[in-house]
A and B are shown apart, each in its own frame.
Chain A
Amino acid sequence: MSPQPQAAVGAPLSRVDGRLKVTGEAQYAAEFDIEGAVHAVIVDASIGRGRITGVDTDAAEAAPGVLRVIHHGNAPTLPYRDNPGSNNLPGRKLRVFQDDRILFHGQPVAVVIATTLEAAQHGASLVKFGYDAERPTTDLAEGEPGRPGNYSRGDVEAGLRDADVRLDMTYRLARNHHNPMEPHATIARWDGNRLTVWDKTQWVPGTQLELSTVFDVPLDSVRVINPFVGGGFGSGLRCWPHTVVAALAARETGRPVKLVLTRKQMYFGTGFRPAYEYRMRVGSDRRGRLAATDQGIDAETSSYETFTEAVMSPGQMLYSTPNVRQSYRTVPLDVNSPIWMRGPGAATGVYAVESAMDELAHELGIDPIELRRLNEPAQDPSNNAPFSTRRLLECYTIGAREFGWDRRNPKPRSTRDGDWLIGMGMASGVYHTAVAPAQSRGRLNANGTAVIECATSDMGPGTYTSQTQVAADALGLAMRAVDFRLGDSRYPQTPPHGGSMTMASIGSATLDVCIQLRQQAIRLAVEDEESPLYGVNAEDIVVRNGRLHVQGNPARGESYQRLLTRNDRTRLEANASFSPPRGERHSISAYSAVFAEVAVDATLGLVRVRRMLAVYDAGRIISPKLADSQAIGGMVGGIGAALLEHTVTDHRDGRIANAGLADYLVPVNADIPDLKAIYLEGEDMQADPLGVKGLAELVIVGVAPAIANAVFNATGRRVRELPITAEALL
Chain B
Amino acid sequence: MYPFTFTKAASTHEALNAGRRGGRYIAGGTTLVDLMRETVERPETLVDISGLPLREVTVTERGGLRIGALVRMADAAAHPKVRALYPVISEALELSASAQLRNMATIGGNIMQRTRCTYFRDVTADCNKREPGSGCAAREGHNRTHAILGTSEACVATHPSDVAVAFAALEATVHLMGPDGERRIACADFLLRPGSTPNREQAIRQGELITAVEIPALPRPLKSGYLKVRDRQSYEFALTSAAVALHVRGGVIREAKVAAGGVGTVPWKLPAVERHLIGERPSEALWTAAAEKAAEGARPLEHNRFKVELLKRTVERQLRIVGGTK
Contact = CB atoms under 8 A, between A and B. Distances in A.
Interface of A: 46, 118, 121-122, 125, 419, 603-606, 608, 643-644, 648, 650, 652, 655, 657-660, 662-663, 665, 667-671, 725-727, 730
Contacts of B50: none
In the A-B complex, the 9 residue pairs with the closest CB atoms: A727-B306, A670-B233, A46-B124, A670-B234, A657-B142, A603-B313, A668-B234, A125-B39, A648-B142
B142 A650 contact: yes
B143 to A, nearest CB: 9
B61 interface: no
Nearest to B239: A726
A720 to B, nearest CB: 17
A662 B116 contact: yes
Contacts of B310: 604-605, 726-727, 730
Nearest to B308: A730
A657 B119 CA distance: 7
A671 B232 CA distance: 6
Interface in B1-55: 1-3, 37, 39
A79 B305 CA distance: 52
Contact of A665 (B231, B306, B314): B231
Contacts of A652: 140-141
B125 A655 contact: yes
A652 B239 CA distance: 24
B116 A604 contact: no
Interface string B279-322: 00000000000000000000000000110011001101100000
A604 B118 contact: no
Contacts, number: 76
Given A655-B124, A670-B232, A604 B317 contact: yes
A671 B119 CA distance: 27
Contacts of B140: 652
Given A652-B141, A657-B142, A668 B232 contact: yes
B314 to A, nearest CB: 7
Nearest to A649: B142
Contact of B229 (A125, A604, A648): A604
Contacts of A730: 306, 309-310, 313
Given A657-B141, A726-B310, A727-B305, 6 more contacts: A122-B1, A603-B317, A605-B310, A657-B142, A660-B118, A663-B118
A644 B124 contact: no
Contact of A657 (B118, B305, B317): B118
Contact of B235 (A46, A604, A668, A726): A668
Nearest to B38: A264
A726 B229 CA distance: 9
A658 B229 contact: no
A652 B141 CA distance: 8
A730 B239 CA distance: 13
Interface in B207-233: 229, 231-233
Contacts of A659: 118
B233 A668 contact: yes
Interface string B105-130: 00000000000101100111100000
Interface in B124-172: 124-125, 137, 140-142
Contact of B232 (A121, A655, A667): A667
Contacts of A663: 116, 118
Contacts of A662: 116
A175 B310 CA distance: 26
27 contacts: A46-B124, A121-B1, A122-B2, A125-B2, A125-B123, A604-B229, A605-B310, A650-B137, A652-B140, A652-B141, A657-B119, A657-B141, A659-B118, A660-B118, A662-B116, A668-B232, A668-B234, A669-B234, A670-B232, A671-B233, A671-B234, A726-B229, A726-B231, A726-B239, A727-B306, A730-B306, A730-B313
